[in-house]
Amino acid sequence: MAEGLRERKKRQTRQYISDVATGLFLERGFEAVTVAEVADAANVSVNTVYNYFPAKEDLFLDRSKGVVDRLSRWVRGRRDGESAAQAVLRELREEVESVSPRIGLMEGYAGFMGVIHSSPALRSRLWAIGQEVQDNLERTLREETGAPDDDPVPSLMAGQVNWLHGTVMAAIGRRMMAGGKPAEVSRDILVLLDEMEDLLSDRVLNYAVRGAE
């Protein structure tokens, strides 16, 4: 019980520091706020901030771990008879149809994306996260299909499937920053998903089908 309480306290402290930092970044911009200022506003030491967040960018993109494994989780959880790409398309449609804040369909997301677009450091980190998503997905596809390390197909397929996710996320960001409302953007993105699926080849749409011989 004591260990559980300590872990809960750590999670609460981490979230509080992140929330304070996010508020400062939204108000003044990422580059204008120092880690020392975040620590002062959160009433903790600079060392404490770095104990929870190894880099300043982590304070703002604090939920990136869940994003890095997102496509792999969706592929590993695909249904019988469903391919990797079909699973990701289905999951994306479900998120979009439900107007999910997990993919940015929420009030305030425009401000969040505005901070990223105004910061070279955050744009660089976001690109790196996208690469992590694709690398993680490639490893998952190799595991799921039993492909050897020298087979280029899982890498190529990971690029195609990651394109779906990256394009949707970028489109949501642009539309929200342009003043779109979550429900309106949701409808636009559903149309976009249909168009993107039409562009995929049969080989991509039928790769890594669960239960296939």
Per-residue pLDDT reduced to its tens digit, 100-153? 999 999 999 999 999 999 999 999 999 999 999 999 999 999 999 999 999 999
Place of tokens 């394009």: 167
Q: Give yes or no for residue 45 having a pLDDT over 60.
A: yes
Q: Using CA atoms, how far apart are residues 200 and 207, in angstroms rounded to an integer? A: 11
- The C-alpha angle with vertex 53 and arms to 165 and 49, in degrees rounded to 5, equals 150
Q: Give yes or no for residue 213 having a pLDDT over 90.
A: no
C-beta neighbour count of 47 within 10 angstroms: 8
- In this prediction, residue 69 carries a pLDDT of 93
pTM of the full structure: 0.88
Q: Give yes or no for residue 65 having a pLDDT over 60.
A: yes
- In this prediction, residue 18 carries a pLDDT of 93
Q: Which of 173, 77, 87, 101 is nearest to 130 (CA)?
A: 173
- In this prediction, residue 64 carries a pLDDT of 75
Q: How confident is the model at residue 8 (pLDDT cuts 50, 70, 90)?
A: confident
